[in-house]
Amino acid sequence: PRAVAIKIARMFKRDEKGIDKFFARKVKKFKGDNATIIYALYSWILVKREKYDDAIKVLVEAKARTGNQVIAANWEAIANGNHKQFSNANLGDEWYSLYLEEPRIKTQKQRRAF
């Protein structure tokens, strides 16, 4: 699933055509947790392209096939019109290794001991 996700990410970055067909053909091979990253990536691409209805359809299918909490949270956010709350950050390194987004690092203020 990781190789398929990398291929889809590269196709997106290069603005190549055929991502939809490639996704549909390759996602059939994976079930459960293996399919999570592929569904998350493709739905993220659809949200970036502002194809929210298509993203909802993909996420409904993903919820049925994977049962992942990140997928369910993203479906709920888009279904309620909260497109800004869509995030695959909870997938962790698996998501950030695609280099589509930078990890958000929270900085903490250090306390000084006197």
Specify the pLDDT at position 31: 87
Q: What is the pTM of this model?
A: 0.87
Rounded to whole angstroms, how far apart are CA atoms 54 and 50?
9
* Cα-trace Rg, the chain: 16
Percent of the chain with pLDDT over 70: 92
- 3-state SS class at 1: coil
Contact status, residue 68 vs residue 36, Cβ threshold 8 Å: yes
Rounded to whole angstroms, how far apart are CA atoms 42 and 108?
33
Helix or strand holding residue 75 (H, E): helix 69-79
Token code pair at residue 82: 């909260």
Residue type, 63: K
Specify the pLDDT at position 111: 67
Question: Is 90 exceeded by the pLDDT of residue 39?
Answer: yes
Enumerate residues 6+ apart whose C-beta is below 8 A from 95. 37, 40, 88, 89, 101
